[in-house]
Amino acid sequence: MNFLCEEIGELARAIRTYEIGRDHPGEKKKTQKEAFENLKEELADVIDQTLIICSKYDIEPSEILDFSEKKLTNRFKD
């Protein structure tokens, strides 16, 4: 769980960088392409950690996706 939280923090930084071009004022501004590639990398890391947790608790990732789809469908239907 700690690794997932760490990766979520890195994803948050990547999104901020993508949105404003840098993480904090002292950093060199990244190109939009560099920032987008980093965002994809960090999102993949979050997925990796989620898959590791699924494996640890013997949960099929497809079950999680199905559960999420049903929950969101019910939440946002007319």
pLDDT of 21 higher than 90: no
pLDDT of 77 higher than 90: no
Structural domain containing residue 54: 2-76
The 3-state secondary structure of 13-78, one letter per residue: HHHHHHHHCCCCCCCCCCCHHHHHHHHHHHHHHHHHHHHHHHHHCCCCHHHHHHHHHHHHHHHHCC
Lowest mean pLDDT, pick from 22-26, 49-53, 64-68, 72-76: 22-26
Average pLDDT over every residue of 39-47 = 98
Average pLDDT over every residue of 20-34 = 80
Our count of domains for the chain comes to 1
Q: Supply the pLDDT for residue 20.
A: 85
